[in-house]
Structures are given as C-alpha cells and as structure tokens.
Amino acid sequence: MKPLSDIIIIDLTHMLSGPYAGMVLADMGARTIKVEPPKNGELTRALLANDPKNSLNGMGAYFLTLNRNKESVCIDLKLQEGKQLFYDLVKKADVVISNFSPGVTKRLNIHYDDLSKINPSIVTCTITGFGETGPEFNRPAFDMVAQGYGGGMTITGQPEMPPTRAGIPIGDLGGGMFAAIGILGALNARTSTGKGQHVEISMQDCQISLLNYMATMYFLSGEIPGPIGNSHFVHVPYNTFPTKDRWIIIAVIKDDAWLRFLEVVQIPEFEEKKYHTQPYRLAEKDFIEEKLSAKLKTNTCDHWLDLLTEARVPCAPVNDFKHALEDNQALARNMIVDVQHPEGGSIKMPGNPIKMSGTPAEDFAPPPLLGQNTNMVLNELLGLDQEEINKLRNDGIIG
C-alpha cells in the first residue's frame, strides 16, 4: 500500500514541470491518469523517440522517466462530447494538474472555476512561468527563462564568465516539486473543509523562493552578489580542487575541522596559528587554495577521500554521471531502479527519493502506450460498457 493510493489524479501535463509533479505523486501511489490528444499524445512522447541512443522501443528518455506509474486515456477535449467525458472523469477525481500557457485552462473551460462546479472537492493545480496574476503573467517561459528571471544564474559559474544556468533544469523541476507540495497541502486542507481549491504555481516564484537566505542577505546589505564559482563567501577551504585524476570537494566550516584537516594534508605553511580561526583563513583564501591545489594533485581523489573521511573532514568527489549512478549509497537506497517498457525490455532510471517508514512500498509500473488504458478507465470510473466505448471511438471522441 502506498501513501496516496486513495487519490485519483487527472494529468493534463506536457514537457517537464507538470509531468515531473505528476511523477512524484504517482510514485507515491496516486492513480495518475494522463488525458492526451488522440492522434499524437502529449508533446513529450515525440522527444528523442527516434534517437537510437536515448530511446527504448520508440519511447524517448523524457517520456520513459516522467510517465512511469501513470495510465493513458485519449480524449479529444476540442469536441463537446470529449469535454463532457472529461467532466465525468473530474467527478471521480481528486486532482487535476496542468501546465499549459497562462489562460489556456480558462479558455478550455477546465479551470478550477469550471471544475469546482462539477466537483466541489476537486483540487486543481496549474504550473506556468509567471503565474496567473500580475502585470506580466503572460510572458512566455521555459526552464532557462525562469532561471534568468529568478536571479540564480548571476551567482552561478566563475567570476568574469558569462551567466550560467544550473546544469539540471531547476526552473522546470523546481516548479514541479512545489506543485506536488502544494497539491498535498490542498488535499490535507480538504480533510477539514471538505472543499477543494486551486493551487497556482509560478516557476519564477519558485526560483525566487530558492534564493532563500541569499535574498535576505541582499536586503540586509544592499549588495548584489556575483558568481564565486564553487567557493564560499565565508568558509575556507570550501571549493572544488583538482587531484591526480578527479576533482574533489573539501568543505572546512568549523575551526576544529581545520585542525583535523591539517593532519591529513601536512602543509607546513598552514600550521601557523593565525590560520586556526576562520577570519584569517578567509583573508588569505587565494594563498590557501593555491597551496592546497598543488598538494592534492600529488595523489588520487580516492586517496584523499579515504584520509579526509577518516579524519571526519567534510569532503566528496565531483562525480560524473557514471560515478553518481553507481554510488553504493545511492544503490543501497534503491535510487536506481529498473522500469519496464510496456512492449518489452527495461531501462534504468532514478528512483523515488521519498522514503516512508509506514508505507515503504516501492514499485514502478511502465509508462503507458498512447491510449493504453482508455477502455479500462472509462469502464472502471465511468461504468461505460464496451459498446458505449466502441461508439465513442468510432465517433472520434476517444482514441
């Protein structure tokens, strides 16, 4: 039994932010039903689908990952009969989630204002670039647009270099994570009020939220921060350093960690007592980093990791994908899982990071073929028999 096994979600999402939110909830057991256009399905089905290196049986990496544990129903929402069928599903659902451009759900009459009249307990969630209110809510948005407006790009990368986006699409993924949190909050509120509500997620809002204490620092000091690479504005040494083979992270924050660090690196210049406290280390950051880099290059990353770990000095390798996805700790926590393709074969992908003691079940159903579950969903949720379903299909309302 999974924690959300009593929840039914209608997933109208495409691309990344919305499907990611749906994936998080589906992994926790919500019955997540993708409602897709009959002919080609949602846009992500086509991404990498014909790339032999990044697809399996005609299904690309995007769709394989983001739509595991989901079902697919094909309904033409542009037809009035299709819209009515969708409304009938809403009566049985708990959540409707979408990430269309601003205004689309209102134009299609599938916004909370419309759906709450059909089902007062429904929770709806929209993810857009800039929300549904404000003077510029209709700006077009994708991941890097959200990152650009959010401020984080200006503190990412090396000084004197162009602004750098996060390597992972944090604009999209941040929107998806906050959407999942918002939906869970609305479902919890419903237990006491009996009523649903609308959850509105702006990708820009999420990026601003993620600035967190650094935004507060700006308001306190009035100083606009810039990029400092992988180093820290307070702690030294706190950076990435080259070794004989790979890069290593060393993060000395407390003075007692500095003393343990000295026992490992054995650099005579660092023995001066002035370096035993943070202000002096920060004042001579460049000198410390230069000497340390030279020393670390004399041996391998694993050599230094073993010594630093034994001395309880915070450290880590800078893992490439191969090392990260083969890490013993990640494997032990089921963070790399095999997911089947509905037509055979399987693919490895990241697992579910949410581990729960009371409902620990973890399994991953294949992503659906287009319209694979149409008959089952319409029969189970709406009670339609095969003759009624065949008529809908013959009339082009479902696929």
Residue 232 annotated among the catalytic residues of the structure = yes
Q: What gap in Å lies between CA 374 and CA 294, rounded to an integer?
A: 63
| Contact status, residue 255 vs residue 277, Cβ threshold 8 Å | yes
Which residue in 14, 111, 232, 341 is the catalytic one? 232
**Chain length of the chain:** 399
Residues 6+ apart with CB under 8 A from 52: none
Beta-bridge mates of residue 247: 242
Burial degree of 188 (CB within 10 A; 0-12, 13-18, 19+): exposed
Question: What are the tokens at 263?
Answer: 């026992």
* Beta strand pairing call for 346-350 and 31-36: unpaired
Side chain identity at residue 234, one-letter code: V
Side chain identity at residue 102, one-letter code: P
Phi, psi torsion values for 212, nearest 5 degrees? 45, -125
* Beta strand pairing call for 59-60 and 55-56: antiparallel
Residue with token string 């929770």: 123
Give the residue from 111, 86, 103 showing the smallest Cα distance to 33. 86
Give the residue from 312, 319, 309 showing the smallest Cα distance to 327. 319
| Contact status, residue 95 vs residue 36, Cβ threshold 8 Å | no
Residues with active-site annotation = 232
